[in-house]
Each structure stands twice: as structure tokens, then as C-alpha cells.
Chain A
């Protein structure tokens, strides 16, 4: 075991590789702190990677939670600037259907304006013109500055920038123990899942940014943070149905947001309280699928006949405040706990609650508190400095986009960093993933620069396997490149089986029609042609 002074000392250890943890790592590193980020599995494994990908305008919270709404619209505008390559400025519509109370619209618009959100009532005909997929029976529509955001890209861009500012980041490192000296946390023991060894790290401060798992992390540290696990299920449709975010103009309810993102559209969410011990084993139930479809069809009727790619569920990291059984009335506000003040445990902070879109503000609050405790007077610059990928694009990148769709697709994912991707010859340009246009060059770039350990992490960095084939054509090609990079065929084969099973898990709840046909075809390809023995129906 390493001792203090052997290169394992930091100013801050951040636990959790979601948007909040990555954002905090970036902010701390930009203010000159020595940072270590530890993630149990892969980045964006929790709620960060399992939501709508909605760039909230805040309108949804305006009526009930004006504070959250105000935070949202401010962060919304900031993210458009600093994370432009992760954001699609689609705008959003809040529509009223005949079954909705149209009187709510006036209250809604008023609340939005009070929170600083531009909200403009438009004619239903105009709504149909700007979003032809919308339910044509709508009786009212309000236009708000909603958008889409890619949480995988956003988190990774924060990680990359943190590293550029000297932070050390480690995936597959699970904190298993806190090192405590009297009333102070001085370090952590982390199990390296790859080597199975326990490593020890020391720091002046430890930040718990574990999302829903923060409950357990706090417990390990000896304090109580009661999380309220609220499961939300979502469905992904095979292509873009809408180009404008569609919401229902009513009190927040199930399945009333339809978000276009990259090549797909997502409907969600449901909301149901689940026991804490189920958070690692999310399954989407038939009832949830029914509900999502039934309600989704009211937003855009074509959802009733559009192919569904996958179903997935996440757990909102809400902090239990009262005994509301739905979880909808719990504040979505940011919760920053200074355990020194709250529990008498020094050097330990928990940052939780909030939303994907307020991750930066959460990071700012956390870093401000650490700096204050350290007596540092460094200002936060994360709202002004663009993330890697969202910086000035060179003329060369622009030129190549115009002539090459492989390059254009890559640019959509990596922004200005696309210039790092080798796409010079036919081999680099050839496609690994045909549905999403991911080239050999892009995969090799990701393998080199983006902390890829397996096909799942490659999918999150590049969209390999996210298209309609769900791994049918791309997974074996990507596995080939991984086996080359890691110089191990056996490992790559096992990874391939895991990956296909993971894809099947998302298809299982919606396995009918073309998706079922395609997964059956995939099973034949891998089972019979590639002779993979533990097939995907495992």
C-alpha cells in the first residue's frame, strides 16, 4: 500500500464520474487545485447517461419551483456557449391538448417570464408549421428555449479539460473505504477493478458526487444522506420524429417530454419510487412501456407506428425531503452538504440533487466552498471558458466537413477536436458503425485519447452501436479494433458477448416488429456466422 508522499496526495478527491463529478474536477483543476477523480465504472454510468438529454429551459419547473427554473435558464444559456458541440439549439414547444386546461397556459407563461425564460404563445397552426409531427389537435402552444444536450459528450469534455488542467482521472476505481483521522476524512481506499488491487489516496478534501450512490458513499464515510430513488423509464425511437422538443403544458406528469437528439428521439419519463437496493438493477416494465407509448402518442401521433430501438431507465438522485410517494414534488434544487457543519465531519462534502443542466453550477458551488475553506481566492471561470470540442474550429475542419460525411458525423460528436482524428486514408475513413457513421479513425482516436476500456465505453464516446442495428454490424468490427489496441483477442471476445447482451437488455422490453426481426438477425450473425457461443438471448 502506498504511503503519503508517494505521488498519491491531492488537494481534492472527487468520487463519481457523472456530469457533476466531472464538472467539479474541471472547476477545481482550473482554479489550480490538485485533483483526483475516481469513478467506480465508466463515466456517465448513472443518471447522467440515463435521461432525456434535454437542455431544459427551466419552463417545466417555472410554475412549481421558480428557483430551479431560474437556475436552469441561466445554465441553459451558459451551456450554449461553453458546450456548443454538445448542444442542439432546437427550441421547445409546450402544447395544450383538448384534454388539458388551457387556463394553465397563462399561468405557465407568467411563471416562465418571472423566472427569466422567454415564453411566447403561438398559434396552433404555427406550431404545426414549425414541428409537423406535433399532435394536430393541439389547442395552444408556447415556444420556449429548450434544446437537446448530449450528456456523454458533455461529461467527457469536462473530464478532458480537467486533465488538461492537471487533474488525474481514473475509471474503474471504486471507493471501498474512507481513511478517517478523528473527525476528519484524509483519504480513500479505492479498488481498481482491472487489477483487483486496492489503492490509497490522500487529500485535503473529499467530494461525494456519487449521485444516487452518494447515499452509500456517505454511509461509508459515517454520515447520513437520505436519497430518494425515483426511477424514470424512457424509450428511444429509431430516427428523429421531431426537430423541436415537445412538452405538455400542464402540471408535470408521466411521459410528457419528447426530445430529439442526434439521430434519434426520446420519450419520457415515468416516475416511481423504488427501494434503494434495486438501483443497480434497473428493468423497464411492460406497464412503463405502455404508459410511455400511450402518452407519447398524444404529443406526436406518429410515435404509435414508429420503430422503437430501446427502453432504458435511470434513477434521479433526489434528496429525500418529505414523504411524497411520487418523488415529483421533491425539489430538483441543488443540495450541497458541508458535513463539517452538518455532521461534525471535516473535509467531506456531498454535492447532489440538481439536474444535468445545472451540473456546472453545482460544481461551482462545491469548488467555491472548498476554495473558501482553503483560503484561496480564485474566481470560477467555467461559465466563460469553452470546453474542449466547443472551441474555435479551424478552417481545415470546416472544409473537410463540407466534402466528407464521415467527417461531418465525427465533428458532430467531437467538435473542434475532430482535427485530432486521423481520417487521411481509405482505411481510417472506412466505417465501423454504419448507422451512426463512426470511422476506424474515430475509434482509434477514442482508444488513444478517451479512456476506452470496453465496447460500452466506446459506445458512449462515439455512438458505436447506438444506431438501429444495435451492434449487428459494428460490434464485431469495433471488437476487432479493441483487441488490436489491447492486444488480447480473448478479452475482446468476452467483451463482445457482454456488449451484445447489454444491447439486448435494452431491446427486450420493446422486442417486437422490426427491432425484434433485426435482433434475431443479429443473433444469427453472431451465433451462427461468428460462432459466439453464449448468444445474446442469455
Chain B
């Protein structure tokens, strides 16, 4: 008899043995007592929701979707996915205007780019912040990321696209909204490193926002159609052109790889393993003996690395930190792995501001105690949160590498 060889349940919810380790690792629980915690909102709540959908609890919106519960779970229960799936399935309330604005990062970005100086100035003005606070319920403490007056994409087309063809090997770059609208420099830094390593960098055939803010704001239909488009264009790069797709944002990468199949039911199995963070791609090249890096001798910095939640879930912090540790003049400090509290658009909402800052408080304190030259992290929203909540500047490991590299020496040693 082949029965009962395995217990199979959606997101492994029946694999939960109620050990409650997830609840111990939940960053929200100690700060916001309205959140029932991952165990109760996840596998416990699922049994009730299967009985009667009215057991769907609105307090599930307090979940940051940080997935630290899933990392902690010894039974492989996809607790975060259970909670997010329940929100998708049972939440009947339609998203507010504010949530739609916050979620549509690329649409808002497109509108803001031509007027970047005005938008940046306006978003920084106290009266504007107060109006956004009272009308839109976007907390006035928040600093919006500055918009760039030229998108990364248009810079790339004008200044970089042509010369990429001359390289022997090629990759595709999923730059994400942040690089495109707010901080093109990070994309330029990536191109500098990849070019030094002998790789031409190409853009996808019109990428769209990965959808992480859409998912967390309940705009599932839009997230699914954008996700499907992204996987289609990623497939063109990976399958048709045999190019790996790299990114510089841990949340974008996590979404493309894991949230698409788990939450949006988009099949990405044929390209999943070829979508990764640039630091992982680089580290593996070096680890395989396919690339050697050389760093400037005059580069001296003391930096502290913060592990974004989705980096923790991916298990990829080791790649970024190992690369940073290769820089001889760099004094490396690993911060305790904990949530910074912003969780994408979550922390921008007025009702979540206190929770958000409460969650991050111990991180901010640790950074102050360590007193680095700057903080390194792979996630742009962690960067905003830390820069807003501490006096320290935050950089992506790719930008740090770009600054510390000795490009000529690398090309020489790798015989490029």
C-alpha cells in the first residue's frame, strides 16, 4: 500500500509541530501585540480558514512578509507564504489610493523623472509631508528616495549599450525600479564591475517592476500580469540567448525566484536557477577559478553589513559578505541579522510607522555602537530605513566593490 508515505499539504502547513520557534523570530510580535504571530496567523489560522473563510483576520496585514519565520522553521513550513496567500485569497477590501500609489513604483517613477528636481524638492518640504501624512496617511517622518532626472535605462541606451557588444561573455541585468528611477549609479557600478570581469551587460526586453510592492499592497492581478511579462522576457534572455539574469536588489531577486511561483502561481522553473544576485554570480565565478579580483591598495574603510530579510531567506548574505571580505583594506563588521522594520512600503504607512521604527531600534543602536564609515546592504528599502533612522550612509556591496576595484589590474590578471 502506497498510502501515507508522505504528508502533503499546501505550503507544508500540516508539517507544523507547534514548536513556536517562528513566533520567537518574528520581528513584529514584540512591538505590535495586534499581530497574532506567524504560527497563529499561518498554520493555526489556516485550519480555521479552511473551516470558515470568515476566520480571516485583518491583523494579518501587520505581517512584514520578512520570511524570518520560514528561516527559523525546523519543519519546512512556508509560514510567510501561508499568511500572504491568505491575504490574497480572503482579503476582500480594495486597496486604498495611497497603497496603489506606493505600490506602483515604476508608474510613479515614470511620472516623476521629467520633474525630478521639483518632485524631490516638493517631497522634502514640510507642508507637503504634512499633507501626505494627513490626506494619504503616509507618515511625515519618512524621507522619500530622491528621483533621478535621467532613468538608468535612458542613460544605458545613450552611453553604455553599444560598447557592451565587444565583451566575450554576456549577462542580463534586472535593474529594478530603484536603480532606474532613484539611483542609476548602482547600475553604472554593476556595469563597471561586470565589464572589468569581461562580461557585457544587457537589459531585458522592457522589464517591469518585480511586483513586490504590488503583492504586499494586495494588487495581485497587476502583480501577476507584470510577473508573467517579466518571466517571459527573462526567458528570452536565459533560454534564447543563454544569458544569466543578475540583479542588485535582494527583494527583486527573491520575488522573481520565490514569490512568483509560491504566491502568484507563475511557473518560473525553467529559469529559476539562472536568476540571481550579482554578488552571488561574481562570488561563484571567483570560487570556480574563472575570475580574479584585484583591489586598490589605498582603499581603507570600516563597514558594517546588514542582512536584509529576503537575503536571509535566500541564504545569500554569505556571497555578498564574502566578496566584501576580499577587499584587503576593508574592516568588516557583521551586524546581527534582524529586520530593519521598513519592509518595503509597510513602513511608509502612517499606521505602521511606530511598529516599523520599534522593530529597527536595536539595529540602529548596534550601528551606532559599531560606528562604521558606512553600512552595506543589498536592499534599497533597508538603505532608506537605516539612512533615515541613523546618521550613517548605506551602500550596496556592488557599489563598494566598484569603488575598491583596480580595473586595469583585473583586466591584466584575467588576460582580458
Binding site for B on A (CB under 8 A): 238-240, 260, 262-263, 290, 293-294, 297, 302, 304-308, 405, 408-409, 431, 434-435, 437, 467-469, 472-473, 512-514, 517-518, 521
In the complex, chain B residues whose CB is within 8 Å of the CB of A240: 47, 50-51
B9 touches A468 (CB 8 A): no
B14 touches A306 (CB 8 A): yes
B48 touches A514 (CB 8 A): no
A408 touches B55 (CB 8 A): yes
In the complex, chain A residues whose CB is within 8 Å of the CB of B162: none
A435 touches B18 (CB 8 A): yes
B51 touches A304 (CB 8 A): no
User: Which of these, A308, A405, A435, contacts B4 with CB under 8 Å?
Assistant: A308
In the complex, the 3 A-B pairs of residues with the closest C-beta atoms, listed nearest first: A518-B17, A305-B8, A469-B18
State whether A239 and B47 are in contact (beta carbons under 8 Å apart), knowing that A306-B14, A408-B55, A468-B14 are contacts in the complex.
yes
A514 touches B4 (CB 8 A): no
Kindly state the separation between the CA atoms of A297 and B2 in the bound complex, as whole angstroms.
11
In the complex, chain B residues whose CB is within 8 Å of the CB of A260: 51
Knowing that A239-B47, A514-B75 touch, tell me 20 more A-B residue pairs with CB under 8 angstroms: A239-B9, A239-B13, A239-B46, A240-B50, A240-B51, A263-B47, A263-B48, A263-B51, A306-B8, A405-B55, A409-B48, A434-B44, A435-B18, A467-B44, A469-B17, A469-B18, A514-B15, A514-B17, A518-B18, A521-B19
B111-150 CB mask vs A (1 if < 8 Å, else 0) is 0000000000000000000000000000000000000000
In the complex, chain B residues whose CB is within 8 Å of the CB of A473: 18, 20
B54 touches A293 (CB 8 A): no
A437 touches B48 (CB 8 A): yes
B57 at the interface (CB under 8 A from A): yes
A238 smallest CB distance to B (angstroms): 5
B93 at the interface (CB under 8 A from A): no
In the complex, chain B residues whose CB is within 8 Å of the CB of A512: 4
State whether A513 and B4 are in contact (beta carbons under 8 Å apart), knowing that A306-B14, A518-B18 are contacts in the complex.
yes
Kindly state the separation between the CA atoms of A290 and B3 in the bound complex, as whole angstroms.
9
Kindly state the separation between the CA atoms of A521 and B8 in the bound complex, as whole angstroms.
20
In the complex, chain B residues whose CB is within 8 Å of the CB of A472: 17-18
In the complex, chain A residues whose CB is within 8 Å of the CB of B361: none
Question: How many A-B residue pairs lie within 8 Å, measured between CB atoms?
Answer: 86
User: Which of these, A302, A306, A408, A469, contacts B54 with CB under 8 Å?
Assistant: A408
CB under 8 Å from chain A, chain B span 16-70: 16-20, 39-40, 44, 46-48, 50-51, 54-55, 57
Q: How many residues of B contact A (CB 8 A)?
A: 29
Binding site for A on B (CB under 8 A): 1-9, 13-20, 39-40, 44, 46-48, 50-51, 54-55, 57, 75
Kindly state the separation between the CA atoms of A247 and B2 in the bound complex, as whole angstroms.
23
In the complex, residue of chain B having the shortest beta-carbon distance to the beta carbon of A304: B3
In the complex, chain A residues whose CB is within 8 Å of the CB of B48: 263, 405, 409, 437
Pairs across A and B, CB under 8 Å, 15 listed: A238-B47, A239-B50, A293-B3, A305-B7, A306-B7, A307-B14, A431-B40, A434-B39, A434-B44, A435-B44, A468-B14, A469-B18, A513-B6, A514-B7, A517-B75
In the complex, chain A residues whose CB is within 8 Å of the CB of B46: 239
A468 touches B4 (CB 8 A): no
Kindly state the separation between the CA atoms of A121 and B154 in the bound complex, as whole angstroms.
64
A308 smallest CB distance to B (angstroms): 7
Kindly state the separation between the CA atoms of A375 and B112 in the bound complex, as whole angstroms.
92
Kindly state the separation between the CA atoms of A290 and B2 in the bound complex, as whole angstroms.
11
Kindly state the separation between the CA atoms of A409 and B55 in the bound complex, as whole angstroms.
8
Kindly state the separation between the CA atoms of A297 and B4 in the bound complex, as whole angstroms.
10
User: Which of these, A263, A293, A431, A517, contacts B17 with CB under 8 Å?
Assistant: A517
B87 smallest CB distance to A (angstroms): 15
B55 touches A304 (CB 8 A): no
In the complex, chain B residues whose CB is within 8 Å of the CB of A514: 7, 14-15, 17, 75
User: Which of these, B6, B47, B54, contacts A467 with CB under 8 Å?
Assistant: B47
Kindly state the separation between the CA atoms of A308 and B50 in the bound complex, as whole angstroms.
16
State whether A306 and B9 are in contact (beta carbons under 8 Å apart), knowing that A514-B15, A518-B18 are contacts in the complex.
yes
A304 touches B4 (CB 8 A): yes
In the complex, residue of chain A having the shortest beta-carbon distance to the beta carbon of B14: A307
In the complex, chain A residues whose CB is within 8 Å of the CB of B9: 239, 305-307
A204 smallest CB distance to B (angstroms): 46
A294 smallest CB distance to B (angstroms): 7
Kindly state the separation between the CA atoms of A432 and B17 in the bound complex, as whole angstroms.
17
In the complex, chain B residues whose CB is within 8 Å of the CB of A468: 14, 16, 18, 47
A244 smallest CB distance to B (angstroms): 13
Kindly state the separation between the CA atoms of A302 and B50 in the bound complex, as whole angstroms.
15
Q: Quick one: which of A293, A409, A468 has the most chain B CB within 10 A?
A: A468
In the complex, chain A residues whose CB is within 8 Å of the CB of B18: 434-435, 468-469, 472-473, 518, 521
